[in-house]
Amino acid sequence: MLKWQKDLVIIGGGPAGLAAAVAARDAGVENLLILERHHELGGILNQCIHNGFGLHYFKEELTGPEYAERFINEVHQKQIPYLTDAMVIALSPEKNVQVACPDYGLIEIQAKAIILAMGCRERTRGAINIPGTRPAGVYTAGMVQNLINIEGYLPGKEIVIVGSGDIGLIMARRLTLEGAKVKAVVEIMPYPGGLTRNIVQCLDDFGVPLYLSHSIVEIKGKDRVEGVLVAPLDQKMQPNLEKAFPLDCDTLVLSVGLIPENELSRQAGIQIDPVTSGPQVNEALATSVSGIFSCGNVLQVHDLVDNVTRESQKAGKNAAKYILAGEEPRCETKVVAGENVRYVVPQIISKSQDVEFFLRAAKPLGKSSLIVGANIVTKKLREAKPGEMISIKIPAEKLSKVDDKLEFRLVEEVSSLELNS
């Protein structure tokens, strides 16, 4: 077994890992290495050939591969070393990484710091327990995206999509453009899960029906999917089988959520947030294990890659500070998700520096106020949706007024009509 010494190891060569590596190199880290399990850098962006990337970060509209290429070019220009086809099989709290790859066999790397940027994976049929037979023709949305955009295969001609996550919505448009008939998008919740712009551009513009508060109660077919049975849900989320109706289709596409890939994080003894399924971090994006940082979709599922880039650059800079100066903020103030807030990242802070917080609403709200602490900061929102992330930057001078707990609340404003009724 080969044994290497590195100052910084970045696990994952997608948008998060690339941005973190470039930021760490710019901050002065020379001896670093990116590990990527696929045969090329870029991560999931390589199969996201639609536009809409980079509007916030580059101030121009790019496709996924174009966005990734800009950071891959920077990695090459700065001569940052990377290994592709490299599978990390073990990670210890002592920052010892074991990697398997065809070029070198088994490698043991001892690092001074590690950045986790493994991204996330899709929930499958087994995770949501759809009843019925087990025929061919049931795919996750990411698999369909790969088949069409990378492999050049159309998986079916009559499609039903389960879940209204962004990937599913984008694939509804992509499948329609390729000549397939998307019969419906079926969503279990009373509101869509994806961005509003994707609902409009991918469903409304193509006349694809969206069934909210509905569920697939049966998959039909022996060798291949022949159809599904769709039923409306009552207020207790139970299907009303009397009102169920069939939809004929040959393909069922699942867009039912993403799970951060934190098997390695758990192996290293890192504390995991039960809501985000990602590591608990402080404002430096440092986890509960000293010297291990986390960023991108492995930390929290983002809706915009531009936010992934900014978050990962912060992780890269802070990892460099840890390596070069041994700097670690002393964090004692807990961040709490209060009324109508599902989660907040970071989960613990030091109050010594400005912090950008990311949070999601627990349910759709109209005109609302985001209230932080005992009114130390208030932000007005036109609306708040679970599918769209909210960010707020709070200066250190205001955070210094907080005691041992900082609570975030979303309070919906009551209209004058409601007050009068």
What does the alpha-carbon distance between residue 293 and residue 116 come to, in Å, rounded to a whole number? Answer: 6
Three-state secondary structure of 135-160: CECEEEHHHHHHHHHHHCCCCCCEEE
What does the alpha-carbon distance between residue 52 and residue 83 come to, in Å, rounded to a whole number? Answer: 29
Q: Which of 273, 298, 328 is the last residue of a domain?
A: 328
Residues 151, 79 share a domain: no
Question: How many CB atoms within 10 Å of residue 185?
Answer: 29
Residues 322, 282 share a domain: yes
Identify whether the C-beta of residue 63 lies closer than 8 Å to the C-beta of residue 9: no
pLDDT at 418 over 90: no
Tens-digit pLDDT profile for residues 148-177: 999 999 999 999 999 998 888 999 999 999
* Residue 285 pLDDT grade (very low, low, confident, very high; cuts 50, 70, 90): very high
Predicted local confidence at residue 40, as pLDDT = 96
Averaged pLDDT for residues 71-99: 97
The mean pLDDT value of the chain amounts to 93
CA atoms within 13 A on the CB side of 248: 1
Tens-digit pLDDT profile for residues 190-201: 988 888 889 999
For 179, the domain range is 124-254
What does the alpha-carbon distance between residue 412 and residue 145 come to, in Å, rounded to a whole number? Answer: 37
Residues 164, 84 share a domain: no
What does the alpha-carbon distance between residue 57 and residue 41 come to, in Å, rounded to a whole number? Answer: 20
Q: Which of 303, 328, 353 is the last residue of a domain?
A: 328
Residues 149, 69 share a domain: no
Give the residues across from 9 on adjacent strands. Answer: 33, 114
pLDDT at 421 over 70: no
Residues 170, 94 share a domain: no
Residues 69, 41 share a domain: yes
Domain of residue 79, CATH code: 3.50.50.60
What does the alpha-carbon distance between residue 382 and residue 392 come to, in Å, rounded to a whole number? Answer: 15
* Residue 329 pLDDT grade (very low, low, confident, very high; cuts 50, 70, 90): confident
Residues 8, 67 share a domain: yes
pLDDT at 44 over 80: yes
| Model pTM score | 0.93
Residues 65, 7 share a domain: yes
Q: 122-138 burial string, b = 16+ CB within 10 Å, else e? A: bbebeeeebebeebebb
Averaged pLDDT for residues 310-325: 96
Tens-digit pLDDT profile for residues 341-372: 999 999 999 988 899 999 999 999 999 999 99
Predicted local confidence at residue 417, as pLDDT = 46
Percent of the chain with pLDDT over 70: 98
Residues 88, 32 share a domain: yes
Least confident of 209-223, 387-401, 404-418: 404-418
* Residue 419 pLDDT grade (very low, low, confident, very high; cuts 50, 70, 90): very low
* Residue 17 pLDDT grade (very low, low, confident, very high; cuts 50, 70, 90): very high
Averaged pLDDT for residues 23-27: 97
Residue with the two structure tokens 């109508």: 340
Three-state secondary structure of 198-215: HHHHHHHHHCCCEECCEE
Let me know the angle formed at the C-alpha of 242 by 238 and 247, rounded to the nearest 5 degrees: 90
Structure tokens at 219: 């998959």
Distances (CA, A) of 173 to 48, 141, 192: 13, 12, 16
Domain count, the chain: 3
Q: Which of 203, 231, 254 is the last residue of a domain?
A: 254
What does the alpha-carbon distance between residue 25 and residue 293 come to, in Å, rounded to a whole number? Answer: 16
Predicted local confidence at residue 415, as pLDDT = 64
Averaged pLDDT for residues 24-53: 96
What does the alpha-carbon distance between residue 21 and residue 75 come to, in Å, rounded to a whole number? Answer: 8
pLDDT at 41 over 70: yes
Residues 290, 369 share a domain: no
Residue with the two structure tokens 């697939």: 216
